């Protein structure tokens, strides 16, 4: 089992430093997405020890990101889904990467997969970029600086940006939108939804759910079943930057500097309206 804990070795990353990186990191996510789209998704699917699928597209995107981060931020370590055997980086600031989130959706021929890149500082999400290459959309955010939705041209050469923000939760008794997983919906999550009448379910794959919360298209994204840090770090940063909050089921802010076997997060809730959290 891979476990680890952060050890202070250098100053934490500043918001200004992260802001200077957001453009090159966005371009890196776009390049990783292009690498995924360039691969025939009908090819071989392998499986890891935990049973999760991995494809040539996962590995190609991971290579693009690893090479890019070595140029952009050579002194910062990285925790990637495809390179996690060494444990948690022992640094106050580090990247968390899922080069292809939603591999099941990708293999099934759906477009609901993402490239997730987060920068963690002192255990908290600071910067997040979630790219949906097949949809031509990127969500990105820097906590304390705001969040944006990018609309990417079909050739991937350029994009337009629009500021985004989460929305207030509708009053009790009014319809509200819950973002739920297409592949990982469990009874506890359904119970959470049932306890809040008026839910309109929006089912989708991967970290798209965080993007919809951040842009005000959905209100709450609950997941009461286990997932991994790289699945949620980037999306959490985007939601927080857009004005929301990400907590565990008890309302405690989600952190990324605590020892977790295999980096598994037992549960979390992304709230568009932070006042709705416990």
Residue 169 lies in a domain: no
Average pLDDT over residues 57-86: 93
Exposed, middle or buried by CB within 10 Å (0-12, 13-18, 19+), for 50? exposed
How many Å apart are CA 41 and CA 17, to the nearest integer? Answer: 37
Looking at the fold, whether 188 and 76 belong to one and the same domain comes out as no
How many Å apart are CA 211 and CA 202, to the nearest integer? Answer: 13
How many Å apart are CA 116 and CA 207, to the nearest integer? Answer: 8
∠ CA 166-171-174 to the nearest 5 degrees?
A: 100
How many Å apart are CA 277 and CA 254, to the nearest integer? Answer: 12
Give the model's pLDDT for residue 83.
Answer: 84
Looking at the fold, whether 27 and 147 belong to one and the same domain comes out as yes
How many domains, the chain? 2
Strand order in the sheet with 114-121: 78-80, 93-101, 114-121, 124-132, 137-142, 146-152, 159-164
Looking at the fold, whether 25 and 148 belong to one and the same domain comes out as yes
Domain of 102, CATH number, reads 3.30.540.10
Domain of 251, CATH number, reads 3.40.190.80
Count other C-beta atoms under 10 Å from residue 272's C-beta.
28
Give the model's pLDDT for residue 10.
Answer: 64
Stretch among 42-46, 73-77, 139-143 having the lowest mean pLDDT: 42-46
Q: What is the mean pLDDT of the chain?
A: 92
Give the model's pLDDT for residue 1.
Answer: 35
**140-171 per-position pLDDT tens digit:** 999 999 999 999 999 888 999 999 999 999 99
**25-44 per-position pLDDT tens digit:** 999 999 999 999 999 887 77
Q: Are 178 and 273 in contact (CB under 8 A)?
A: no
Backbone phi, psi, residue 216, to 5°: 80, 20
Average pLDDT over residues 125-131: 98
**Confidence class of residue 234 from pLDDT cuts 50, 70 and 90?**
very high
Looking at the fold, whether 111 and 213 belong to one and the same domain comes out as no
Looking at the fold, whether 132 and 88 belong to one and the same domain comes out as yes
Q: Which domain holds residue 155?
A: 15-164
Looking at the fold, whether 218 and 260 belong to one and the same domain comes out as yes
Contact residues for 172 (Cβ-Cβ < 8 A; gap 6+):
197, 198
């Amino acid at each position: 089992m891979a476990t680890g804990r952060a050890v202070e070795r250098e100053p934490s990353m500043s918001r200004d430093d992260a802001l200077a990186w957001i453009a090159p990191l966005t371009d890196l996510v776009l390049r990783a997405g292009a690498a995924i789209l360039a691969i025939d998704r009908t090819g071989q699917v392998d499986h890891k020890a935990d049973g999760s699928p991995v494809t040539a597209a996962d590995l190609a995107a991971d290579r693009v990101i690893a090479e890019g981060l070595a140029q952009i931020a050579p002194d910062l370590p990285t925790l990637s889904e495809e390179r996690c055997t060494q444990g948690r980086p022992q640094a106050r600031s580090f990247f968390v990467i899922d080069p292809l989130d939603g591999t099941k959706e990708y293999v099934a021929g759906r477009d609901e997969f993402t490239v997730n890149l987060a920068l963690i500082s002192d255990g908290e999400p600071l910067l997040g970029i979630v790219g949906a290459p097949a949809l031509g959309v990127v969500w990105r955010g820097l906590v304390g600086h705001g969040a944006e939705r990018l609309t990417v041209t079909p050739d991937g050469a350029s994009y337009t940006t629009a500021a985004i923000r989460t929305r207030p939760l509708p009053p009790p008794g009014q319809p509200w939108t819950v973002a739920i997983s297409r592949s990982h919906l469990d009874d506890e999550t359904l119970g959470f939804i049932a306890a809040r009448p008026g839910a309109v379910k929006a089912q989708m794959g991967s970290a798209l759910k965080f993007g919809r919360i951040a842009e005000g298209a959905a209100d709450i994204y609950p997941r009461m079943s286990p997932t991994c840090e790289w699945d949620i770090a980037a999306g959490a940063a985007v939601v927080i930057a857009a004005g929301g909050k990400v907590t565990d089921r008890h309302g405690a802010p989600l952190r990324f500097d605590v020892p977790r076997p295999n980096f598994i997060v037992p549960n979390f809730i992304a709230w568009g309206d932070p006042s709705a959290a416990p």
